[in-house]
Amino acid sequence: MTRRDIITAVPVGFRRDGTFDEDGSRRILRYVARSGNEGAFVLGTTGEFPALDEGEFRANVAIALEELGDVMRVIVHVGRSSTFEAVRRIEIAREMGATEFAAITPYYLAAPEEMIYDYFAALSAALGDTTLFVYNYPKRSGNTVSPELMARLAALPGIVGAKISEMSLDELAAYRAVVPAEFLIYTGADRELLAAGEAGAQGVVSGVSSVFPTPFRALVAAAESGDAGRTAVAQAAVDDVCSVVGGDMARMKAAYRNLGVADVVCRMALAEPDAAALAEIERVCVQYR
């Protein structure tokens, strides 16, 4: 059977004064726990990781493992701008019981390919018996992992897969062509769950599914049924929620407020949805809750 994992990219909750809202974050995690999805990607882009200090990192790892550890995989993002800080976060999360990690490339300053390799080699050495995904998001990090570099990274101990964000299906296929068959590739493009599978991916890391898991579960079920008409209808529903919410954390949190999940906002400098956007968010909340 074709593998179509849905890994939920989980937002972190903040109060309107910018402080970390542990209760709101727990409410989001408990909502995600009921989704039926295969895993959770915590403290990544959707989790606003650059805005969290080390204490907040610890707190979020703790509550994610507590709320989700018995029902789904928990992939903890540890990527930082420096090797020292990324290794430190692996050490912290390992001590707390995390077993799966992901790390974005070094970011902000341009990094030569050999420095990116050295960064991931150091993370590999810190893994012990745990595993790590390479998070390749050049539009945000400013640095990229080429297919040639990905092939080298796939040979490092403990590096078992990659998350590829905002790259084309042809680019995704180029990564698939150079890594071992067992190497997992997840797309960061929520609506391309099925299309990415045809290009060699094993699933999606989806922020939209943190709010609206039902259309994504329906799409997988439809694809597995082999019914083309049912699949088209399910894909249209996924396209609908993605067009309204997309990768916008402020819209995700507006949807949580609408659904009564958690009264939380973003910490980073993100625009709040306007009246027209809020009306569309309310529509999809009613339609796909």
Q: Is the pLDDT score of 182 beyond 90? A: yes
With b for 16 or more beta-carbon neighbours within 10 A and e for fewer, the 192-212 pattern comes to: bbbebbebbbbbbbbbbbbbb
For residue range 100-129, list pLDDT tens digits in order.
Answer: 999 999 999 999 999 999 999 999 999 999
Q: What is the mean pLDDT of the chain?
A: 97
**Which pLDDT belongs to residue 145?**
98
**Which pLDDT belongs to residue 215?**
98
Q: Is the pLDDT score of 12 beyond 80? A: yes
| 231-234-235-237 Cα dihedral, nearest 10 degrees | 170
17 vs 60: CA distance, rounded Å: 19
Q: Is the pLDDT score of 10 beyond 70? A: yes
196 vs 167: CA distance, rounded Å: 11
DSSP 8-state assignment for residue 203: E
